[in-house]
Structure 1
Amino acid sequence: MSVTLSATTLSTILNGFFEDNSFVSGAEATAADAEVFKALSGEPNAKALPHLARWYKHIVSKGAAIDSLKAAEAPAAAAAAAGEDDDEDLDLFGSDDDEVDEEAEKLKAQRLEEYKAKKAAKGPGPAAKSAVTFDVKPWEAETDLGELEKLVKDIKMDGLVWAAAAKRVPIAFGVSKLQINATIEDAKVSTDDLTDLIMELEDYVQSVDIAAFMKL
């Protein structure tokens, strides 16, 4: 019996391996590292696979010296690298013995579970936020922009924070628009919903435009 690993599964296993190991075997790069390096199709995604990417960059830095690394016994990580090609079967431990293959399957499952557990323990990253600038145009020059600003800031939503002060920008014929900034959590606040809520101040507001939008 032999085991075939997809490139994604292989990379996940290797990333977990290099989280606790600097090299494939021992405290320095060996021919086993060269074997794993050559089996990879390219540089790993540093964000998704930080430990594998760190090891990869270290091996790349050796340049032509990669081919002259001294031989060493390659553990499971080196054997696993040879299986990156989806069309080729791989025995992780160089044996067709059923008992050994069963252990290889257990090792693969264990590594995947450990990786998932460590990732879950770190918790979710910070919420994605955006900075938005609204241009709020009143009906006429006599519109009380101070009251309009107060009414706009009275709009409360989870994930919405209004800036401390708004800016009054002259348009024409004595009319000034209210330019007000807000920080929103993308997953909680829709700019369309927020625009609609401002437009509901119909006694004051003629139109609302998004003057600027920037991811934070």
Structure 2
Amino acid sequence: MAVTFSDLHTEAGIKSLDAFLSGKCYISGDQLTKDDVKVYAAVLEQPSADLFPNASKWYHAVSTKLAASFPGKAVGVRIGCQDAPAEAAPAKVVDDDDDDDMDLFGEETEEEKKAAEERAAAAKASTKKKESGKSSVLMDIKPWDDETDMKKLEECVRKVEKEGLLWGASKLVPVGYGIKKLQIMLTIVDDLVSVDDLIEDQLTVEPCSEYVQSCDIVAFNKI
């Protein structure tokens, strides 16, 4: 059963998370799960260690675990013409998405489930082959500089359409020097979409390359 929290953008919400985490390493016990990734994505920044010691320790543990759990995927996927500027300590911010959007980092909404099922059914009918399954992917997309129009960057990314690809929730996260990256969820049908090919063939070539400097796969989970 998925665990959710309300108002994680407020001190009261972080306080409730801190109380919930008392005596726990992660949301659902001693192991990192989708619940942790979902709640982590909704927290604006690492909570104060003095005010919220449990939440602060958990946030640091999840951040470290995500970076260590996906070698070659979480931190090693760099596709673009040059390295991005040195990253400052992460301070997560959320754009205009509602709190409900964080469910997409662990679960799909009913509308998106229906859309994914319709897209998968159409793909199956056209390819005449059985699908192997689906995967949920969390991706960071970085712009060239602080003058890049992030709204147009996201519009360009979401215009990329493929059979078996469904774009989900997104938010902007500061990386340093006034630059923000786009963090976005996507669901793919494994038989139809390769994330590496998606990055190389569509997200880092024209027209997206006008805005996109590089793409990183933060998390990749089978559904």
Q: Is this a same-fold pair by TM over 0.5? A: no
Query: TM-score category by the smaller chain?
Result: 0.3 to 0.5
- TM-score computed with the length of structure 1 as normaliser: 0.41
Structure number with the bigger relative contact order (C-alpha 8 A, sep ≥ 6) is 2
TM-score normalised according to structure 2 size: 0.39
